[in-house]
Chains A and B, each alone.
Chain A
Protein backbone atom coordinates (compact mmCIF):
# COMPACT_ATOMS: atom_id res chain seq x y z
CA UNK A 1 0.00 0.00 0.00
CA UNK A 2 1.77 3.10 -1.25
CA UNK A 3 1.05 5.96 1.12
CA UNK A 4 2.61 8.67 -1.04
CA UNK A 5 1.96 8.72 -4.77
CA UNK A 6 3.32 10.83 -7.57
CA UNK A 7 1.15 9.76 -10.48
CA UNK A 8 3.11 11.47 -13.23
CA UNK A 9 6.46 9.75 -13.87
CA UNK A 10 7.55 12.57 -16.16
CA UNK A 11 6.75 16.16 -17.11
CA UNK A 12 8.13 18.30 -19.91
CA UNK A 13 7.72 22.09 -20.02
CA UNK A 14 9.13 24.98 -21.98
CA UNK A 15 11.61 27.34 -20.36
CA UNK A 16 9.86 30.29 -18.76
CA UNK A 17 6.55 28.47 -18.30
CA UNK A 18 5.10 27.04 -15.11
CA UNK A 19 5.89 23.50 -13.93
CA UNK A 20 3.33 21.83 -11.68
CA UNK A 21 4.26 18.60 -9.94
CA UNK A 22 1.60 16.71 -8.00
CA UNK A 23 1.61 14.39 -5.00
CA UNK A 24 -1.17 12.50 -3.22
CA UNK A 25 -1.05 10.84 0.19
CA UNK A 26 -3.32 8.56 2.17
CA UNK A 27 -2.19 8.77 5.81
CA UNK A 28 -3.77 11.67 7.69
CA UNK A 29 -1.10 11.35 10.43
CA UNK A 30 1.53 12.98 8.19
CA UNK A 31 2.29 16.40 9.64
CA UNK A 32 4.99 17.76 7.33
CA UNK A 33 5.52 17.52 3.60
CA UNK A 34 8.79 18.09 1.81
CA UNK A 35 9.99 18.27 -1.77
CA UNK A 36 13.45 17.09 -2.75
CA UNK A 37 15.30 17.47 -6.03
CA UNK A 38 17.68 14.84 -7.34
CA UNK A 39 20.24 14.87 -10.15
CA UNK A 40 21.60 11.59 -11.58
CA UNK A 41 24.22 9.82 -9.44
CA UNK A 42 23.71 12.29 -6.58
CA UNK A 43 21.70 12.26 -3.39
CA UNK A 44 18.45 14.25 -3.15
CA UNK A 45 18.64 17.83 -1.90
CA UNK A 46 15.92 19.60 0.04
CA UNK A 47 13.85 22.12 -1.88
CA UNK A 48 10.87 23.32 0.14
CA UNK A 49 8.50 22.08 2.85
CA UNK A 50 5.09 22.79 4.29
CA UNK A 51 3.43 22.08 7.60
CA UNK A 52 0.07 20.33 7.63
CA UNK A 53 -1.43 23.38 9.34
CA UNK A 54 -0.66 25.61 6.37
CA UNK A 55 -1.94 25.61 2.82
CA UNK A 56 0.86 27.46 1.05
CA UNK A 57 4.58 28.06 1.37
CA UNK A 58 6.65 30.09 -1.04
CA UNK A 59 10.40 30.35 -1.57
CA UNK A 60 11.50 32.32 -4.59
CA UNK A 61 10.39 30.53 -7.74
CA UNK A 62 9.06 27.57 -5.77
CA UNK A 63 5.64 27.37 -4.14
CA UNK A 64 4.06 24.36 -2.47
CA UNK A 65 0.31 24.13 -2.02
CA UNK A 66 -1.39 21.74 0.39
CA UNK A 67 -5.04 20.68 0.16
CA UNK A 68 -5.47 18.70 3.35
CA UNK A 69 -9.07 17.67 2.70
CA UNK A 70 -8.08 16.17 -0.65
CA UNK A 71 -4.77 14.83 0.75
CA UNK A 72 -3.03 16.48 -2.17
CA UNK A 73 -0.04 18.75 -2.54
CA UNK A 74 1.60 20.35 -5.51
CA UNK A 75 4.88 22.07 -6.28
CA UNK A 76 4.81 25.04 -8.64
CA UNK A 77 7.98 26.31 -10.30
CA UNK A 78 7.68 29.69 -11.98
CA UNK A 79 9.41 30.47 -14.24
CA UNK A 80 10.92 27.10 -15.10
CA UNK A 81 14.60 27.03 -16.08
CA UNK A 82 16.67 24.33 -17.82
CA UNK A 83 18.65 23.86 -14.60
CA UNK A 84 15.44 22.73 -12.91
CA UNK A 85 15.56 19.53 -14.98
CA UNK A 86 15.83 16.76 -12.37
CA UNK A 87 13.79 14.15 -10.52
CA UNK A 88 11.51 15.63 -7.87
CA UNK A 89 10.46 13.56 -4.87
CA UNK A 90 7.56 14.31 -2.62
CA UNK A 91 8.02 13.14 0.99
CA UNK A 92 5.53 12.98 3.84
CA UNK A 93 6.81 13.08 7.40
CA UNK A 94 5.18 11.73 10.55
CA UNK A 95 6.89 13.32 13.52
CA UNK A 96 5.94 10.71 16.13
CA UNK A 97 7.33 7.91 13.98
CA UNK A 98 10.40 9.98 13.13
CA UNK A 99 10.52 9.00 9.50
CA UNK A 100 9.48 10.15 6.04
CA UNK A 101 7.75 8.25 3.27
CA UNK A 102 8.77 9.10 -0.29
CA UNK A 103 6.87 9.02 -3.56
CA UNK A 104 8.33 7.44 -6.70
CA UNK A 105 9.42 10.77 -8.14
CA UNK A 106 8.60 12.85 -11.21
CA UNK A 107 11.25 13.55 -13.83
CA UNK A 108 10.99 17.18 -14.93
CA UNK A 109 12.53 18.25 -18.23
CA UNK A 110 12.66 21.96 -18.98
CA UNK A 111 13.34 22.64 -22.65
CA UNK A 112 15.23 25.79 -23.69
Chain B
Protein backbone atom coordinates (compact mmCIF):
# COMPACT_ATOMS: atom_id res chain seq x y z
CA UNK B 1 0.00 0.00 0.00
CA UNK B 2 1.40 3.43 -0.93
CA UNK B 3 2.60 5.51 1.99
CA UNK B 4 4.20 8.83 2.81
CA UNK B 5 7.82 8.51 3.90
CA UNK B 6 9.97 10.99 5.85
CA UNK B 7 13.66 11.31 6.56
CA UNK B 8 15.37 11.52 8.93
CA UNK B 9 13.30 9.96 11.69
CA UNK B 10 15.18 11.99 14.29
CA UNK B 11 17.30 15.12 13.85
CA UNK B 12 19.33 16.79 16.57
CA UNK B 13 20.71 20.24 15.85
CA UNK B 14 22.22 23.23 17.58
CA UNK B 15 20.24 26.44 17.96
CA UNK B 16 20.83 28.72 15.00
CA UNK B 17 21.59 25.92 12.56
CA UNK B 18 19.61 25.24 9.40
CA UNK B 19 17.74 21.96 9.03
CA UNK B 20 15.99 20.37 6.07
CA UNK B 21 13.30 17.78 6.66
CA UNK B 22 12.45 15.55 3.73
CA UNK B 23 9.27 13.85 2.65
CA UNK B 24 8.23 11.66 -0.25
CA UNK B 25 4.45 11.96 -0.71
CA UNK B 26 2.27 9.27 -2.22
CA UNK B 27 3.07 9.23 -5.91
CA UNK B 28 -0.29 10.21 -7.45
CA UNK B 29 -1.05 12.86 -4.84
CA UNK B 30 -0.98 16.52 -5.82
CA UNK B 31 -1.44 18.34 -2.50
CA UNK B 32 1.19 18.38 0.20
CA UNK B 33 1.20 19.58 3.79
CA UNK B 34 3.45 20.05 6.79
CA UNK B 35 2.16 19.85 10.36
CA UNK B 36 3.99 19.93 13.65
CA UNK B 37 3.32 18.60 17.14
CA UNK B 38 5.11 19.99 20.16
CA UNK B 39 5.53 17.28 22.78
CA UNK B 40 2.29 16.63 24.63
CA UNK B 41 0.26 19.00 22.50
CA UNK B 42 -2.08 18.68 19.53
CA UNK B 43 -1.03 18.59 15.91
CA UNK B 44 -0.91 22.04 14.25
CA UNK B 45 -1.04 22.98 10.58
CA UNK B 46 2.00 24.75 9.13
CA UNK B 47 1.64 24.98 5.36
CA UNK B 48 0.00 23.49 2.30
CA UNK B 49 1.57 23.29 -1.16
CA UNK B 50 0.14 22.71 -4.60
CA UNK B 51 1.40 23.22 -8.13
CA UNK B 52 4.80 24.35 -6.86
CA UNK B 53 3.54 27.10 -4.65
CA UNK B 54 2.24 27.64 -1.15
CA UNK B 55 -1.56 27.45 -0.97
CA UNK B 56 -2.02 28.36 2.68
CA UNK B 57 0.17 28.89 5.72
CA UNK B 58 -0.45 29.37 9.39
CA UNK B 59 0.87 32.05 11.72
CA UNK B 60 3.54 29.57 12.85
CA UNK B 61 5.00 29.45 9.35
CA UNK B 62 7.09 32.62 9.53
CA UNK B 63 10.09 33.75 7.49
CA UNK B 64 12.32 31.13 9.11
CA UNK B 65 10.40 28.40 7.31
CA UNK B 66 10.33 27.53 3.63
CA UNK B 67 9.06 24.62 1.55
CA UNK B 68 10.18 23.28 -1.77
CA UNK B 69 9.55 20.47 -4.18
CA UNK B 70 13.04 20.22 -5.68
CA UNK B 71 12.22 17.29 -7.95
CA UNK B 72 9.28 15.10 -8.92
CA UNK B 73 9.22 13.13 -5.69
CA UNK B 74 10.63 15.01 -2.69
CA UNK B 75 8.90 17.71 -0.65
CA UNK B 76 11.09 19.54 1.85
CA UNK B 77 10.66 21.80 4.86
CA UNK B 78 13.60 24.05 5.68
CA UNK B 79 14.05 25.89 8.95
CA UNK B 80 16.68 28.56 8.39
CA UNK B 81 17.87 29.31 11.91
CA UNK B 82 16.45 26.91 14.43
CA UNK B 83 15.24 28.01 17.86
CA UNK B 84 14.67 25.95 20.98
CA UNK B 85 10.91 26.26 20.49
CA UNK B 86 11.16 24.59 17.07
CA UNK B 87 11.71 21.27 18.86
CA UNK B 88 8.74 19.16 17.83
CA UNK B 89 7.58 16.25 15.71
CA UNK B 90 7.11 17.38 12.12
CA UNK B 91 4.63 15.48 9.97
CA UNK B 92 4.34 15.56 6.22
CA UNK B 93 0.99 14.68 4.64
CA UNK B 94 -0.41 14.39 1.15
CA UNK B 95 -3.80 14.12 -0.48
CA UNK B 96 -5.04 13.30 -3.94
CA UNK B 97 -7.71 15.95 -3.94
CA UNK B 98 -8.48 19.15 -2.10
CA UNK B 99 -11.72 20.84 -1.20
CA UNK B 100 -13.79 18.02 -2.66
CA UNK B 101 -15.11 14.68 -1.50
CA UNK B 102 -12.38 12.09 -0.97
CA UNK B 103 -9.76 14.65 0.15
CA UNK B 104 -8.36 12.35 2.83
CA UNK B 105 -4.90 13.32 4.03
CA UNK B 106 -2.30 10.61 4.65
CA UNK B 107 0.50 11.27 7.11
CA UNK B 108 4.11 10.21 7.19
CA UNK B 109 5.76 8.73 10.30
CA UNK B 110 7.20 12.09 11.33
CA UNK B 111 10.63 13.59 11.98
CA UNK B 112 11.42 14.33 15.59
CA UNK B 113 13.47 17.54 15.67
CA UNK B 114 15.44 18.35 18.81
CA UNK B 115 17.09 21.77 19.03
CA UNK B 116 19.79 22.10 21.69
A is bound by B: no
